């Protein structure tokens, strides 16, 4: 007699929750509004680091096109860590082409970004068709997906930092508010709680680098610039003890956030 096979389905409770809601829950539950910008070229190293720092962050941001050891198996491993330690994965792809092209860049090629990235970054430079295309493409995925629109940049002389451009970005966010869950910004763009403002260019000690990056402190980012999420890269990556530094940034960022936003 053949015994029936016991099929245990491990339900991933995350996949049915809209990404915006999941993000907000993570921030509150973990008391973290810190995003680690893991600009490293080895995915193995990112996986190792995220195992150590995952508990301190609400989001991990990567650039998949700088990785020398990318594979779908490894990125699945990183996704598993992100689910276990409860943080989102942001692919900082900065899409910036016509709708048809970005839909292909998002779903196809070596990286198949839509399969694993909870969120992606998008320039609205080509017009709103770029967001429409990504949203449509994301509907083929069995998990909630979203994007952050790049409204303002931290680098010296950025052409994004003019009022008309930023107003266009806000309009686009309002039109596609199911898919657009926030901004990459350097100032508070809207009073609506719906959009998370994510601010890069943050460092406790340095004021910039040699290639145009400009830094403010976590307090300046959250207080002066209205950040909800603080994106920190080399301040943690180049420190002597990455884990301790990440803990310090988590504490500082969340303390200021609680003080100001009274959450």
Can 92 be counted among the known catalytic residues? yes
Considering the complex, what minimum distance in angstroms separates the CB of residue 8 from ligand 6AU? 39
Q: Is 218 in the site for ligand 6AU (CB under 6 A)?
A: no
Contact with ligand 6AU (CB under 6 A) among 25, 39, 85, 168: 39
Q: Return the structure tokens found at 159.
A: 């052409």
Q: Is 184 in the site for ligand 6AU (CB under 6 A)?
A: yes
Can 44 be counted among the known catalytic residues? no
Residue facing ligand 6AU at closest CB distance: 233
Q: Is 153 in the site for ligand 6AU (CB under 6 A)?
A: yes
Residues 224-243 that bind ligand 6AU (CB under 6 A): 231-234
Q: Is 154 in the site for ligand 6AU (CB under 6 A)?
A: yes
CA 43 to chain CA centroid, Å, is 17
Can 238 be counted among the known catalytic residues? no
Q: Return the structure tokens found at 249.
A: 């940034």
Residue 202: C-alpha distances to residues 24, 71, 195, 236 (Å): 21, 30, 20, 10
Q: Return the structure tokens found at 195.
A: 């959009």
Question: Which residues make Cβ contacts (< 8 Å) with residue 230, sequence separation at least 6?
Answer: 33, 34, 35, 198, 199, 202, 218, 221, 222, 249, 253
- Which range binds ligand 6AU by CB under 6 A, 78-86, 106-114, 151-159, 221-229? 151-159
Residues 76-135 that bind ligand 6AU (CB under 6 A): 92, 121
Q: Of the residues 31, 55, 74, 97, which is catalytic?
A: 97
Measured from the CB atom, is 82 or 186 closer to ligand 6AU? Answer: 186
Rounded Cα distance, 114 and 102, in Å: 11
Q: What is the SS3 assignment for 50-118?
A: HHHHHHHCCEEEECHHHCCCCCHHHHHHHHHHHHHCCCEEEEEEEECCCHHHHHHHHHCCCCCHHHCCC
Residues at the binding site are: 39, 61, 154, 213, 233-234
Residues at the binding site for substrate are: 39, 61, 154, 213, 233-234
Contact residues for ligand 6AU (CB under 6 A)? Answer: 37, 39, 92, 121, 150, 153-155, 184, 200-201, 213, 231-234
């Amino acid at each position: 007699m053949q015994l029936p096979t016991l099929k245990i389905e491990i339900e991933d409770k995350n996949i049915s929750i809209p990404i915006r809601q999941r993000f907000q829950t993570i921030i509150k539950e973990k008391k973290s509004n810190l995003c680690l910008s893991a600009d490293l070229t080895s995915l193995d190293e990112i996986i190792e680091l995220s195992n150590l720092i995952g508990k301190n962050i609400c989001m991990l941001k990567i650039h998949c096109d700088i990785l020398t050891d990318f594979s779908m198996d490894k990125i699945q491993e990183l996704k598993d860590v992100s689910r276990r330690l409860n943080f989102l994965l942001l692919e900082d792809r900065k899409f910036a082409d016509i709708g048809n092209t970005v839909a292909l860049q998002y779903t196809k090629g070596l990286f198949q970004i839509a399969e694993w990235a909870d969120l992606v970054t998008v320039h609205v430079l080509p017009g709103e068709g770029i967001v429409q295309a990504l949203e449509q493409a994301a509907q083929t995925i069995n998990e909630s997906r979203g994007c952050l629109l790049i409204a303002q940049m931290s680098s010296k002389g950025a052409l994004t930092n003019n009022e008309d451009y930023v107003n266009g970005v806000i309009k686009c966010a309002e039109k596609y508010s199911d898919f657009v869950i926030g901004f990459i910004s350097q100032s508070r763009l809207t009073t609506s709680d719906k959009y998370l403002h994510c601010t890069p260019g943050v460092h406790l000690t340095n004021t910039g680098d040699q290639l145009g990056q400009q830094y403010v402190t976590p307090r300046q980012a959250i207080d002066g610039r209205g950040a909800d999420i603080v994106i920190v890269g080399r301040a943690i990556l180049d420190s002597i003890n990455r884990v301790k530094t990440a803990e310090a940034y988590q504490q500082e960022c969340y303390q200021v956030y609680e003080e100001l936003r009274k959450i």
